[in-house]
Structure 1
Amino acid sequence: MKTLKRFVLVGGPASGKGTQARYLAQAFGLHTLSTGALLRQEIEACSDLGRQAQSFMDRAMLVPDEVVNDIVRGWLSNNDETPWLLDGYPRTVAQAETLDSFMRERGLGVDVVVWLDVARELIEARMLKRKECTKCGLITRDGESVCPDCGSEMRVRADDNLEAFARRWQDYESLTVPVANYYAAKGMAVRVRVTEEGEPEEVSLRISQKLKEFAE
């Protein structure tokens, strides 16, 4: 049986990646790298990388590969021995190739890629209901005004509207789906299709079953 220590999680906007990232982290003892959270830290610190990232995020555009790659490389360099999960990276095939090259240089590699393949219609409905914590980044779809994790304010994300979603979905189909296919061609992808609304726990159970089959 394979030992799974290094995970990549990919999926469309509002596909439930944050929820399933927390499940995987708990189930496999993983330290999670969220590129979104790292970018927010850079923005809050008013760093050069943060200012560059902000200019693109304000327009609901993807942050350029070179900016994201620099942030991720720094994090991975300090976590060679740590089981980890990358959430939101790699987002493009170019990023995936950069990640593979960097890992090979360190004698390591990604063990498995979990692909949340969620129907667009379902994601649109979810997106219109969700809120994000202004401090810890927790995303919920229950309409809370206070974060259940840290007690901070919950707000509707500025890019949660149908026009912005359409752009993000186009980016997902043109950039991120090829990433999933890139890893699938290597026999590394565990694909979980979600076409109907259900409890997050149901999706987590399906992921767990597929990972068990993958590792056998």
Structure 2
Amino acid sequence: MKELKHFILVGAPASGKGTQGRFLADTFGLHSLSTGSLLRREVESCTELGRKALSYMDRAMLVPDEIVNDMVRGWLSEMDHGAWLLDGYPRTVAQAEALDHFLNQRGTSVDVVVWMDVSRELIEQRIMRRRECSTCGYVVQTPEEECSKCGGKMVSRKDDNMEAFARRWKDFEAMTLPVARYYEARGLVVKMTVSEEREPADVSRDLARKLEEYRQ
């Protein structure tokens, strides 16, 4: 039976990566890394990498691979030989190849890639319904005015509109989808196909079953 310690989570915006990422982290005892959170941490800490990244972020440009790669390598080095989950990285095939090289040097590798394969139509519906708490960041798919967690105001995200989504989907198809194919060709992908709305807990149960089959 395969030991699953090193996970990658890929999927389009609003495909449920956040929810299923938390499920995977809890189930397998994983340290979870979101590259978005890592970038913000580096920027807020005013590190050299953070300053370099900010120069691109201020211009609404994608942070170059070499900067993101260095940030992720630093985080993985801190993990030593622990179990981890990468969400939002690798974003490109070049990043995937750089990650493989780094892990090979450390005598380890990616164990499994969970691909949240959700239809574009369903994601568009989710985005139009999605609300986020302006205070604590809690996200729901219902038109609530007040956060059930902290009482804060529920608002639409700034990028939750069809124009912004079209750009993000185009980036996903051009950059991230080839990453999923890259790992799929190596037999490392567990694919969760979702074409209609389901309860997150039901998706988690199916994902757990698929991962158990993958381990055999």
Name the residue aligned to 2:83. 83
Name the residue aligned to 1:26. 26
| Secondary structure, aligned partner of 1:128 | helix
Name the residue aligned to 2:160. 160
Question: Which runs of 5 or more residues in structure 1 are unaligned?
Answer: none
**Amino-acid identity (%):** 61
The one-letter amino acid paired with 1:99 is: L
Counting matched residue pairs gives 215
Name the residue aligned to 1:71. 71
Q: Note the C-alpha offset of 1:125.
A: 1.1
The answer to whether the 8 Å contact 1:18/1:139 transfers is no
The one-letter amino acid paired with 1:75 is: W
Name the residue aligned to 2:111. 111
Give the distance between the partners of 1:156 and 1:207, measured in 2 at CA.
Answer: 29
Give the distance between the partners of 2:25 and 2:55, measured in 1 at CA.
Answer: 31
Pairing 1:200–2:200 present: yes
Give the distance between the partners of 1:26 and 1:68, measured in 2 at CA.
Answer: 26
Name the residue aligned to 1:171. 171
Give the distance between the partners of 1:80 and 1:180, measured in 2 at CA.
Answer: 26
Give the distance between the partners of 2:57 and 2:4, measured in 1 at CA.
Answer: 33
Question: Which runs of 5 or more residues in structure 2 are unaligned?
Answer: none
| Secondary structure, aligned partner of 2:212 | helix
Q: Structure 1 141/47 Cα, relative in aligned 2: closer, same or farther at 3 Å? A: farther
The answer to whether the 8 Å contact 2:12/2:172 transfers is yes
Q: Note the C-alpha offset of 1:66.
A: 1.7
Pairs within 5 Å for 1:136-147: 138-142=138-142, 143=144, 145-146=146-147
TM-score, normalised with respect to structure 1? 0.89
Q: Note the C-alpha offset of 1:155.
A: 4.5
The one-letter amino acid paired with 1:101 is: H
The answer to whether the 8 Å contact 1:17/1:87 transfers is yes
Pairs within 5 Å for 1:34-53: 34-53=34-53
Name the residue aligned to 2:210. 210
The one-letter amino acid paired with 1:76 is: L
| Secondary structure, aligned partner of 1:63 | coil
| Secondary structure, aligned partner of 2:116 | strand
Q: Structure 1 60/18 Cα, relative in aligned 2: closer, same or farther at 3 Å? A: farther
Name the residue aligned to 1:11. 11
Q: Note the C-alpha offset of 1:173.
A: 0.6
Give the distance between the partners of 2:54 and 2:134, measured in 1 at CA.
Answer: 16
Residue deviations 1:135-177 (CA, integer Å, cap 9, x gap): 77554334464473x7776653322211111011001111111
| Secondary structure, aligned partner of 2:70 | helix
| Secondary structure, aligned partner of 1:7 | strand
TM-score, normalised with respect to structure 2? 0.89
